[in-house]
């Protein structure tokens, strides 16, 4: 078993509330939602963070981004708007070291973040 939480979710070793699944990407609801819609979109292949992406990852990055758009459409937040966030490292408060977009919406979000 992988010691990466999100790799375990991809492998089906841990349950998740799936929203979208393709060959390359999985989207599932965040266990601690910060908005009425809070979905995590991850590549199935382990990439530690957005900062670890390289030119060789162009295809997966496109798939990840398009899946985030599809989540927003599917859950009805695209028209009113939403936020895509990817936290990186310690100061970015990344807690799971597997690249993920947060798709947040369904209420008026605030800016700037804390
Ligand atoms: P971040 O802090 O940016 O690395 O975001 C990690 C998110 O992952 C955080 O919002 C909570 C969520 N999370 C942590 N463990 C689980 C889990 O087991 N299942 C699900 N669905 N989400 C999780």
The verdict on residue 109 lying in a domain is: no
| Closest to 21 in 3D by CA, of 42, 35, 37, 4 | 42
The verdict on residue 56 lying in a domain is: yes
Tokens representing 48 are: 């530690």
Determine the pLDDT at residue 1: 84
The verdict on residue 107 lying in a domain is: no
The verdict on residue 50 lying in a domain is: yes
Given ligand 1 and candidates 15, 40, 42, which is best to mutate, with the most ligand atoms within 8 Å of its CB? 40
What is the CA(100)–ligand 1 centre distance, in A?
9
The verdict on residue 110 lying in a domain is: no
Whole-angstrom distance, CA of residue 54 vs CA of residue 101: 17
Task: Express each pLDDT in 19-62 by its tens digit.
Answer: 999 999 999 999 999 999 999 999 999 999 999 999 999 999 99
| Closest to 64 in 3D by CA, of 13, 104, 20, 95 | 20
Model-wide pTM > 0.85:
yes
CATH of the domain at 84: 3.30.428.10
The verdict on residue 21 lying in a domain is: yes
Q: What mean pLDDT is predicted for residues 77-93?
A: 98
Domain that includes residue 12, residue range:
5-95
Number of structural domains the chain divides into: 1
What is the CA(28)–ligand 1 centre distance, in A?
10
pLDDT over 90 at 114, yes or no: no
């Amino acid at each position: 078993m992988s010691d990466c939480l999100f790799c375990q979710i991809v492998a089906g070793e841990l349950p998740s509330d799936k929203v979208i699944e393709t060959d390359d990407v999985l989207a599932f609801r965040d266990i601690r939602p910060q908005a009425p819609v809070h979905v995590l979109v991850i590549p199935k292949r382990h990439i530690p963070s957005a900062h670890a992406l390289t030119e060789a990852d162009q295809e997966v990055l496109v798939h990840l981004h398009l899946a985030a758009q599809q989540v927003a459409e599917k859950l009805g937040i695209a028209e009113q708007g939403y936020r895509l966030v990817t936290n990186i490292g310690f100061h970015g408060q990344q807690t799971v070291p597997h690249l993920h977009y947060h798709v947040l919406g369904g209420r008026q979000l605030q800016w700037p973040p804390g």
